[in-house]
Structure 1
Amino acid sequence: MLVVPLQYYLTQRNPMSPTERSYSVQRLVSSLSVMKDNMLSIKTWQKWYFDCVDYITTTVKNLSSQGSATSSNQAKYTDTDDDEDDEGESPAIEVMKLKDPQGYFAGSPEPRTPRPSNVKYRVGQVIRHKKYGYRGVIIGWDPVAKAPKEWLDRMHPKDKEHWSSISNYSVLVDTRDRTSPQTTYVVEENIEIVSNTKVIHPEIDNYFEHFDGTRYLARPFLKKLYPHDQ
């Protein structure tokens, strides 16, 4: 009940484009759909409440630090020759910064340019995991594995140490293969491309405009992060 008025307040303080508002609503709906099975759990509501408080507190701090932005500063984001520039200023970038400041699991908000020659696959391609068989769509990549040391020690054992020095990909997993919505981080060796296959995942519309029959086409913010993958 508190989210809607608070979202309205923040929107008035920091106006969003239609694309940003749509993305925010999609994120909220996705989070609710993931929570639906545990909606009556007190722990679930407590976690959601504290997550909301943390998000709102951080946003208000950011707004305060910006002060009263001049119209010229606002214009540099919206008054451009590229109609997609405004849409490209997506909240997803800010979410990535807040979610994982270290940029682990292909979570860095820095554009991947130039594109490293050792990265074989691209954002939007549909894949199948060679070992576990699940399908998914690539939403990001790192030219070498970027993850906490504990995770690397567990997932890249000594006989697979080379996995840490080659490309790793962030993948939205098809919920037909794993019913609980998941995002995995997969080494290139375990990926194979599949064609004419759509992926079902509650967050897929947050990253892609649509499926063209062979691959998913990225939203403007994702195009800016991976400009050479399109």
Structure 2
Amino acid sequence: MEARVAKFGIGQVVRHRVYPFRGVVYNVDPTFANTEEWWRSIPEEVRPAKDQPFYHLYAENTDSQYVAYVSEQNLLPDESGEPISHPQVDEMFVRTEKGEYRLRNKPMAC
């Protein structure tokens, strides 16, 4: 299996291709790295291939905020410019004047 370069980066805002949610990428797996049970719970006709990047998102929809794990094939860049209101975003990222998310500088341990 050949490794692919991730299309989206840490701090990028993305939206789901089908479902109405968006989020900030906080981690990337080069290929599927969740449980077989989780993967099989997805209906076979829409189940993503495992040999692509999968993204950990601080996600939100109109009703709630949550953590999502989404295949690259199901994500698109979010062009709305709207901030993400997930409570964990502010713990990990700083939103720049341009509306981008950058990792916070963490103090080094002594």
- If the length of structure 1 is used for normalisation, what is the TM-score? 0.41
In the alignment, residue 188 of structure 1 is paired with which amino acid? E
In the alignment, residue 86 of structure 2 is paired with which amino acid? H
**CA displacement, residues 133-190 of structure 1 (integer Å, 9 cap, x when unaligned):** 212111111010100110011127366352x11111011113xx24332010011011
Secondary structure in structure 1 of the residue aligned to 2:10: coil
Tell me the CA shift for residue 117 of structure 1. 4.3
For structure 2, the 5+ residue unaligned runs are none
Determine which structure has the larger helix proportion and give its number.
Answer: 1
Pick aligned residue for 2:76 from 192, 198, 220: 192
The 5 A counterparts of 1:80-99 are none
The answer to whether the 8 A contact 2:48-2:73 is kept is no
Whole-Å separation in 1 of the counterparts to 2:67 and 2:41: 17
In the alignment, residue 134 of structure 1 is paired with which amino acid? F
Tell me the CA shift for residue 216 of structure 1. 0.3
Residues 1:166 and 2:29 are matched in the alignment = no
Query: Which residue is 2:92 aligned to?
Result: 207
Query: Which residue is 1:157 aligned to?
Result: 44
The answer to whether the 8 A contact 1:170-1:183 is kept is yes
Residues 1:118 and 2:30 are matched in the alignment = no
For structure 1, the 5+ residue unaligned runs are 1-115, 222-230
Secondary structure in structure 1 of the residue aligned to 2:85: coil
Whole-Å separation in 2 of the counterparts to 1:187 and 1:123: 15
Instruction: Give the total of aligned pairs.
Output: 103
Residues 1:141 and 2:28 are matched in the alignment = yes
- If the length of structure 2 is used for normalisation, what is the TM-score? 0.80
Taking a change above 3 Å as real, the CA distance of residues 161 and 182 of structure 1, as seen in their structure-2 partners, is closer
Tell me the CA shift for residue 126 of structure 1. 0.7
Determine which structure has the larger strand proportion and give its number.
Answer: 2
Whole-Å separation in 1 of the counterparts to 2:47 and 2:83: 31
Secondary structure in structure 2 of the residue aligned to 1:182: strand
Q: In terms of Rg, which structure is larger?
A: 1
Pick aligned residue for 1:180 from 35, 59, 64: 64
Q: CA RMSD in A?
A: 2.1
